[in-house]
Amino acid sequence: MGMFKDMLGSGESIFRDTTALDFDYIPKLVPYREAQQKQISLCIKPLVDKRNGRNMFIYGPPGVGKSVVCRHLLKSLEDEEIDDVIPIYINCWKKNTFFKIMLEMCDILGYKFTHNKKSEELFGIVKDMLNKRSVVFVLDEVDKLEEQDFLYNVLEEIYRKTVIMITNHKEWIVELDQRIKSRLTAELLEFHPYTKEETTGILKDRLKYAFVPGTWEDDAFRSAADKTFQLGDVRAGLHLIKESGNIAEDGSSKKVTVEHVKKAIEKFDEFNIKDKEELEDDTKFMLEVIKRHSGKRIGDIYKEYQKDGGKAVYKTFQRKVDSLAKSKFIAVKKITGGSEGSTTIIMHTGAVKKLTDFE
């Protein structure tokens, strides 16, 4: 036997198909979300009948199936060859400017001559293509858009459409630019975390595809499912399951045991805490101040921060508040129209950063 085989052992892998654990894998069915799928389909239905569609705003915490439900639906539109309706999925975290979105859309629509063209020009071309038919836009992580021109243009110039916007932050809709808000009527659809039974069911299903049957001990699976339910995030759960499998395989074990899962959980928790330690010093200091004054207005917290020796100007402070909120260290709540006008309330969440923010 060669050195590698010697070191690694010659056993077969416990994994059958790891793609089933990938975050962007689209399962054949999306159980427990039938009602939501139905509601979204109803927004799209008018398009099939050559009328204008309805818009929708989907919100809820990370890892509860918002993206997968929408992507599954777009895929069905494609598979069922509903030719008159063009499905367009855009992840606004990755494509966060008008120009990047236009390039992506040209790519989806197969238009190649994008060189030296500006956003507006590309939009003109795309618009002509889209207005011959109807369109379903899914704008995922829509709050990550740096500019709202794209939304404005779509609402103004695409005739038959359904715009589905997904976000983890419901507040975003309140902050939308007025010229967009006045053009946008959207139904709201909230996604709640899965129950314990649902979480277990989803993971069990994925496990079936990803691993050779019988490789997971019952209590190992149960502890992974419990942790996932506790986190309320299926994405984190899939990560845990993959990691547990890797740990088992690294130890040349033919079974995934409770011990492997325990190690994977430790690694997961440790990773999340370490991340907090790596925060910039001033940001860490800010976080301490926020913790002491949790629930107060941003302006007042800034004053406390200065009093304690903080040096950042208000704009920088605000920017850091945004990024702390995005990473879930704090929660912010916008209040509009109070006696002192609009303001932001900041709350320390006590949470350590979630893995899901790294994708």
Ligand X SMILES: Nc1ncnc2c1ncn2[C@@H]1O[C@H](COP(=O)(O)OP(=O)(O)O)[C@@H](O)[C@H]1O
Binding site for Mg ion (CB under 5 A): 67
Q: Which entry of ligand X, Mg ion, none binds 202, CB below 5 to 8 A by partner kind?
A: ligand X
3-state class (DSSP) for residue 313: coil
CA distance 241 to 221: 8
Q: Which entry of Mg ion, ligand X, none binds 64, CB below 5 to 8 A by partner kind?
A: ligand X
Q: Is 31 in the site for ligand X (CB under 6 A)?
A: yes
Q: Minimal distance in Å, beta carbon 66 to Mg ion?
A: 5
CA distance 58 to 67: 10
Q: Is 67 in the site for ligand X (CB under 6 A)?
A: yes
Among 14, 20, 30, 92, binds ligand X (CB under 6 A): 30
Query: Do the strands 134-140 and 85-91 form a parallel or antiparallel pair, or are they unpaired?
Result: parallel
Distances, alpha carbon 261 to alpha carbons 196, 233, 257, 297, in Å: 18, 17, 7, 42
Nearest residue to the partner Mg ion, using Cβ: 67
Nearest residue to the partner ligand X, using Cβ: 65
Q: Minimal distance in Å, beta carbon 2 to Mg ion?
A: 44
Q: Minimal distance in Å, beta carbon 317 to ligand X?
A: 29
Q: Which entry of Mg ion, ligand X, none binds 354, CB below 5 to 8 A by partner kind?
A: none
Are residues 223 and 258 in contact, defined by beta-carbon separation less than 8 angstroms? yes
Q: Is 197 in the site for ligand X (CB under 6 A)?
A: no
**Rounded to 5°, angle at Cα 293 from 288 and 298:** 100
Q: Which entry of ligand X, Mg ion, none binds 260, CB below 5 to 8 A by partner kind?
A: none
Q: Which entry of ligand X, Mg ion, none binds 245, CB below 5 to 8 A by partner kind?
A: none
* CA dihedral sign, ordered 119, 125, 128, 132: negative
- Binding mask 226-245 vs ligand X (x if CB under 6 A, - otherwise)? --------xx--x-------
Are residues 65 and 27 in contact, defined by beta-carbon separation less than 8 angstroms? no
How many Cα neighbours within 13 Å face the side chain of 273?
Answer: 6
Instruction: Summarize as ranges the residues that interact with ligand X (CB under 6 A).
Output: 23, 25, 27, 30-33, 62-68, 202, 234-235, 238
